[in-house]
Structure 1
Amino acid sequence: MSHQTGIQANNELKKYFGKCRDGKIRVLKVSIENEQLALAKYHSVKGSFESDFDKYVPSLIVEDLPCYILYRFDSTNSLGHEWLLLSWSPDSAPVRQKMLYASTKATLKQEFGSAHIKDEMHATVKEEVSLKGYKAHVSGVNSPAPLTDREEALKELQQTEHNTNYGTDARQSTMGGISFPITESAKQGLADFKRGSYNYLQFNIDLEEEKICLSKAAVIAVTDLPAQVPSDQARYHLYLFTHTHEGDHMESIVFIYSMPGYSCTIKERMMYSSCKGQFLEIIEKLGLEIVKRLEIDDGKELTEEYLFDEIHPKRNLHRPAFAKPKGPPNRGAKRITKSQSAQ
């Protein structure tokens, strides 16, 4: 996944990411400072995973300020110790801060190494930032029922994949297109979108691998939507349009297919057009109800007014009566014809 906000880890943090995998560090706190990911605090291993949790983690959070906490498990995989990524984003934090941290999380995972992260947890109240809160999170993820929104979405998506015949020759009589499998990051993005971690997703088709990939996941304002659309490549977009209609707060999911005319190759245009139907089917089987499907060739079209009018089209309640058009000018006087009976 590409950098969502342009914010990257500073040199000190990059070096520390390599150092902290020696098994001696239990937890580190990462904050966004001066438009960079920076190391805020860290603690060494003292006891077990459970005994160190309440000793270190709650003291790292600040009530009104989001942050990331990377906490080391005692378990290992082929790459070394496994880690928990805890995203602290209190409701009392400024909206801009919450958006910034949500949009930068993918970058942090990439910088640290996603393969080292065994589990992720999102916390908004202090009670969740504890060993008890973590165990409740694990219980919700692992129990057969009820599943968390994220696990349920992933399960439904896997079932959808098993029931779909993927391949370039898998023609569907009802859809009239072809379908490509979606990558693990795309699955994760859809699950997180349903959970509310993001309000915007962008997907691209890897024409060589024949897969649908997640190219961007972020929390953005509607005014930033036009800038997300590439001017020389096709894309699929999913956006949660939050607005008010007739006094009611509404959240409408909009699917946008952007195709910038003939700057794309014929193959690219054909693939995006043909895969769209099957991809929409996967999204909707996840429980994401798409209110409006749009096709555009320029991101400038995606204004707040345009989205609103597409979702809530204006009705013409006072349709004017049909007016008979005037005849052509200078056509001369009417001809008088005699009827057959008159003759």
Structure 2
Amino acid sequence: MSSGVAVNEKCLEVFQELKLRHKYKFIIFKLSDDNREIIVENAAETGEYSTFVSQLPEDEPRYAIYDFEYEKPGEGLRSKIVFYAWTPDTAKVRAKMLYASSKDALRRTLVGIAIEVQGTDFSEVDEEAVLEKAQRSN
């Protein structure tokens, strides 16, 4: 089910900067105040994984992208672009429904995502859980 929410063109611009030039380490997206479009809330050029996770609100949904680097045994340093659909259990039901129905519009716009993570609490976006997914993927 589509919500009719548009994706602001800045979302793709900033994503391309992360993907092609590695200008950003992570990007956090949110719905605009009028719930008509997905916008960039924050784009950080540097940041540890813990810094990224600390930017996710405890009680509001968000979408996010993280340029996840990890060591693959015997193959060296790897990098995967990870998409996060963050819908904490404590968020309002209407907000969760709006974010769930708008996710596909953003996902279709951001081509090149290797891994998707659905998070309803911080344990589901833990660095070790994402590392495990990254190592299982090609």
Query: TM-score normalized by structure 1?
Result: 0.34
Give CA deviations for 1:188-225 in whole Å, capped at 9, x if unaligned.
Answer: xxxxxxxxxxxxxxxxxxxxxxxxxxxxxxxxxxxxxx
* Partner secondary structure for residue 63 of structure 2: strand
Map of 2:40 onto structure 1: 39
Which structure 2 segments of 5+ residues have no match?
Answer: 71-78
Map of 2:85 onto structure 1: 87
1:23, distance to aligned residue in structure 2 (A): 1.2
Describe the shift of the 1:126–1:82 C-alpha distance in structure 2 as closer, same or farther (beyond 3 A): closer
Map of 2:13 onto structure 1: 15
Give the number of the structure with larger relative contact order, counting CA–CA contacts within 8 Å between residues 6 or more apart: 2
Are the aligned partners of 2:61 and 2:86 in contact in 1 as well (CA < 8 Å)?
Answer: yes
**Of 34, 59, 69, which residue of structure 1 is paired with 2:64?**
69
Please tell me whether residue 28 in structure 1 is matched to residue 24 in structure 2: no
% same residue: 24
Letter in 2 for 1:127: S
Letter in 2 for 1:41: N
Please tell me whether residue 134 in structure 1 is matched to residue 130 in structure 2: yes
Letter in 2 for 1:61: L
**Of 101, 109, 112, which residue of structure 2 is paired with 1:111?**
109
Letter in 2 for 1:29: I
Map of 2:52 onto structure 1: 57
Describe the shift of the 1:23–1:135 C-alpha distance in structure 2 as closer, same or farther (beyond 3 A): closer
Are the aligned partners of 2:14 and 2:43 in contact in 1 as well (CA < 8 Å)?
Answer: no
1:86, distance to aligned residue in structure 2 (A): 1.1
Letter in 1 for 2:40: L
Letter in 2 for 1:118: A
Q: Give 4+ residue runs of structure 1 displaced > 3 Å after superposition.
A: none
Give CA deviations for 1:37-57 in whole Å, capped at 9, x if unaligned.
Answer: 1000121146xxxxx212x22
Letter in 2 for 1:129: V
CA distance in structure 2 between the partners assigned to 1:65 and 1:17 by the alignment: 22
Letter in 2 for 1:96: R
Give CA deviations for 1:251-307 in whole Å, capped at 9, x if unaligned.
Answer: xxxxxxxxxxxxxxxxxxxxxxxxxxxxxxxxxxxxxxxxxxxxxxxxxxxxxxxxx
Are the aligned partners of 1:57 and 1:130 in contact in 2 as well (CA < 8 Å)?
Answer: no
* Partner secondary structure for residue 53 of structure 2: helix
Map of 1:333 onto structure 2: none
